[in-house]
Amino acid sequence: MKNRWSDDDAASFIADHQAAGVNEDVALRVYTSRLIGAELELVIHGGGNTSVKTRMPDFLEREQSVICVKGSGWDLATIEAPGLPALLLEPLHEVRNWQLLSDEDMVKFQRLNLLDPASPNPSVETLLHAFLPHKFVDHTHASAILALSDQKDGLEICARVFGDRVAITPYVMAGFELAKKTAEVFDAHPEVEGIILEKHGLFTFGHTAKQSYDRMINLVSLAEDAINAAPAWTPAQIARRDFAAPSDAIPIIRGACAVMRDDGAHKRLIADFRTSGQILQFVNGADLADYGARGVVTPDHIIRTKNHYLVTTAPVRGDMDAFAASVATAISQYRADYDAYFNGNNARLGGVKTKLDSTPRVALIPGVGLIGMGASAKDAAIAADLAEITIDTVIKAERVGAFEPLSPAELFDMEYWS
């Protein structure tokens, strides 16, 4: 992965931001956040987060030690200084010794310590950033890191590839418990350049913005080298046939996914179509129903795509009635499986959750490509983008071993976090 740091660009960011009343630390935090956000193989559509510890005046003009961390609704690719809300750092440090802090109380506690109460909600991983001692902290969902980590023996693979350059936190859902556990992991290995969160992503850190960014690029590049050293993975392909055109296949899927509204009308999701050589090789695999529907590559995706993708049969020109029948059956089964997934996990949590809809958000179509689906064109495009990243990550994971996501129960807790 190319390192895009430029001393001239960094200096320009500092000058421009200082002219607008933003301090140098935050200016550099914006700069390297955007460098990270520009790499789709690091983060996409609001994924990942960054922070900087600095000093700022509060409402009474008293200088305070604060942490500025990415806020909800901001994307690293386009982030500005207001997207890094400042929180008082000392109170955040004090809760590290607590044994319990519910997600709801954590959100309230973080808002209580905002310098500006009008700021957006800070990241759910704010406490993790705060508990690490470094001035700059970066977090991504790098595809190459996930390809190594999303394995049955992912911890061992990562240890072999990175040696003592990184420490590893076994999977814990984002929040207070993950923050405490990762801080403990760092305390036991204070010399590391980064920490891998199992089946989740990578944290790097440093005393300067450049050091933390350099470590991110270097560690991801090391992961890419390990993947490239492994044999290529090409799934056995289905027999070539006269596949139907996307314009014939996609409306059938959209129609089968339509949901009846209260007024009796059917609401169809918008579809965003993607195809490429890599996508077709993936969806034309004979075992697509296995490797293509195992689950998301990082928990963050489940909010946009649900855990599993819909896998259809191959639409053949001149036999679309058979395709329509198979799609109807597949979607009926998808919804039944989702309902069972919800009911079982909701019972585990005491029946307190309200079920989301059971309609798929991504469909893999042999011979055609994939579609992302959503209530808006933006939602559909996001689902399709994440599906493309997922395909690339799964291919990389299969080169190294066998892609294995988190368990349905672990992912349910993320999908129904709020």
pLDDT reported for residue 263: 67
Q: Note whether 232 and 399 are within 8 A (CB).
A: yes
Extents of the domains making up the chain: 7-228, 246-415
CATH topology of domain 7-228: L-fuculose-1-phosphate Aldolase (3.40.225)
Q: Look at residue 261 and tell me whether its pLDDT is greater than 90.
A: no
C-alpha angle 7-13-14 in degrees, rounded to nearest 5: 90
Structure tokens at 282: 């993936």
Structure confidence by residue, pLDDT tens digits, 124-144 = 999 999 999 999 999 999 999
Distances (CA, A) of 338 to 361, 390, 406: 12, 20, 16
The number of beta carbons lying within 10 Å of the beta carbon of residue 207 is 11
pLDDT reported for residue 125: 97
Name beta bridge partners: 68.
52, 86
Structure tokens at 379: 């939602």
Q: Is the pTM of this model over 0.85?
A: yes
Q: Note whether 296 and 390 are within 8 A (CB).
A: yes
CA separation for the pair 380, 269 (Å, rounded): 8
CA separation for the pair 292, 418 (Å, rounded): 28
Q: Note whether 328 and 256 are within 8 A (CB).
A: yes
* Residue 386 binned pLDDT confidence (cut-offs 50, 70, 90): very high
Looking at the chain, the whole-number percentage of residues with pLDDT higher than 70 is 99
Looking at the chain, the whole-number percentage of residues with pLDDT higher than 90 is 96
CA separation for the pair 76, 216 (Å, rounded): 15
Q: Note whether 69 and 122 are within 8 A (CB).
A: yes
CA separation for the pair 177, 300 (Å, rounded): 17
* Residue 308 binned pLDDT confidence (cut-offs 50, 70, 90): very high
Q: Look at residue 352 and tell me whether its pLDDT is greater than 80.
A: yes
Contacts of 83 (CB under 8 A, 6+ apart): 70, 71, 73, 74, 120
Which CATH number is correct for 246-415, 3.40.225.10, 3.40.50.970, 3.40.50.2000, 3.40.50.1220? 3.40.225.10
Structure confidence by residue, pLDDT tens digits, 147-169 = 999 999 999 999 999 999 999 99
* Fold agreement (7-228, 246-415): yes
